[in-house]
Amino acid sequence: MSADSPLNVTINDVASAAGVSRATATRALKGEGRIADETRKRILETAERLGYVPNTNAAELAAGRTGTVGLMLRDASNPAYGRLFSSLQDEAHRRGLDLVTVTVGADQQGAKQVDALRRLLGMRVAGLIVATGGVNTDQLEPFAEQVPIVRAGRMETGGRIHAVYYDEQTHGRMLAAHVLELGHRRVAVLAGGADVSFTEQLRATAMRGTLADAGAEVTMIAAGAPPEDGVSDALEAVRAGATAVMCASDPRQLAVLRAARDAGIAVPGSLSVTGCDGLLPGGDLLGLTTVRIPVEQVAAAAVEAMQSLLAGGAESQPVRRGFAGELVTGSTAGPPGR
């Protein structure tokens, strides 16, 4: 059946319209193999004229390989993931890698995450970049020997899975050191609980370590996912004597700042606040004290790793690269008040 509309045009239509065989048409379209210049041109023109759009499903099935890399992404409304997403895309474009993305809501259970994983694997992607904490090593490992898997943003312990990650320990320590240097000795640390955010836990634990090592008194507050969660506990701690609240993320920092404003607590006069991420547009105007996480570096390194894995075959050692960001000193943290 011939073409009534572009998407129904097959390579057969192109071939017969150009008066050649399917194989020749393939060669012309792919620009490979020996083919007469004139024939190729004719075929290309015919394809163009017919509006031929190659069916990549069929092509990849026949060729037994795929040219695209799958990206598993966590909810992009979080600025940190949104930026990571677009940086990954940019870098992939730059390097000529095709990316297809599927996302999984931040809240979604393991089942959904595995769903997304299977969708990508079902497409037989050539590689996998995983930018969500929701899927764990055990779920990834079985596929690691077939397709290179790079985790982006977070450390990975699985032996066959590569990782390019934020050095969150350092971030936590940098912030804690800053707070200590300002003179604080009673500090509340507000972070999502272990079940909520692994990243925040990493940061919070590092903060606590550094603070405690310096002899400061630390109150740990474990919150749920919504940034407003645990804020009242934090203010409680402040009333009980804490002079600083260290948040494990900038959205939480915003929530604390709001609450402080509403409660008439002067920042940084009576209360110092810190966050982590450094990605909020306008964060400078707010004077947020935070760490700017190295999104672009992580993205670039992740894509680079993927590309070399795709090219070079399996390495003996998994890639492991961590990146630390920079402290952004703002006006939300100062010396302890009163």
Partner DNA sequence: GTGAAAGCGCTAACAA
Partner DNA sequence: TTGTTAGCGCTTTCAC
Beta carbon of residue 313, minimum distance to DNA (angstroms, whole number): 18
The reply to whether 46 sits near DNA by the rule CB under 7 A is no
Residue 112 buriedness (CB in 10 A; 0-12 / 13-18 / 19+): middle
What is the contact mask toward DNA in residues 17 to 36, using x (rule: CB under 7 A)? --xxxxxx-xx-xx-xxxxx
Give buried/exposed letters for 141-172 (b at 16+ CB in 10 A, else e).
Answer: eebbeebbbbbbbbbbebebbbbbbbbbbbbb
Among the listed residues 44, 45, 55, 89, the single contact to DNA using CB under 7 A: 55
Measured from the CB atom, is 153 or 219 closer to a second copy?
153
The reply to whether 257 sits near a second copy by the rule CB under 8 A is yes
Structure tokens at 83: 């930026």
Beta carbon of residue 17, minimum distance to DNA (angstroms, whole number): 12
Measured from the CB atom, is 36 or 62 closer to a second copy?
62
- Residues 291 and 279: beta-carbon distance below 8 Å: no
Measured from the CB atom, is 12 or 86 closer to a second copy?
86
* Residue 35 site contact among DNA, a second copy, none (CB < 5 to 8 Å, cut-off depends on kind): DNA
Place of tokens 């506990």: 233
Among the listed residues 61, 194, 212, 314, the single contact to DNA using CB under 7 A: 61
Distance separating alpha carbons of residues 164 and 168, to the nearest angstrom: 12
Beta carbon of residue 40, minimum distance to a second copy (angstroms, whole number): 20
Beta carbon of residue 149, minimum distance to a second copy (angstroms, whole number): 12
Distance separating alpha carbons of residues 18 and 138, to the nearest angstrom: 52
The reply to whether 95 sits near a second copy by the rule CB under 8 A is no
DSSP 42-79: HHHHHHHHHT----HHHHHHHHT---EEEEEEE-TTSH
Distance separating alpha carbons of residues 308 and 295, to the nearest angstrom: 20
Pick out residues in 319-338 that bind DNA (CB under 7 A).
none
* Closest C-alpha among 278, 274, 273 to residue 324: 278
- Residues 72 and 29: beta-carbon distance below 8 Å: no
* Residue 263 site contact among a second copy, DNA, none (CB < 5 to 8 Å, cut-off depends on kind): none
Pick out residues in 97-116 that bind a second copy (CB under 8 A).
98-103, 105, 108, 112
What is the contact mask toward a second copy in residues 32 to 71, using x (rule: CB under 8 A)? -------------------x-xxxxxx-xx----------
The binding site for DNA (CB under 7 A) comprises: 8, 10-12, 19-24, 26-27, 29-30, 32-36, 39-40, 52, 54-55, 58-59, 61-64
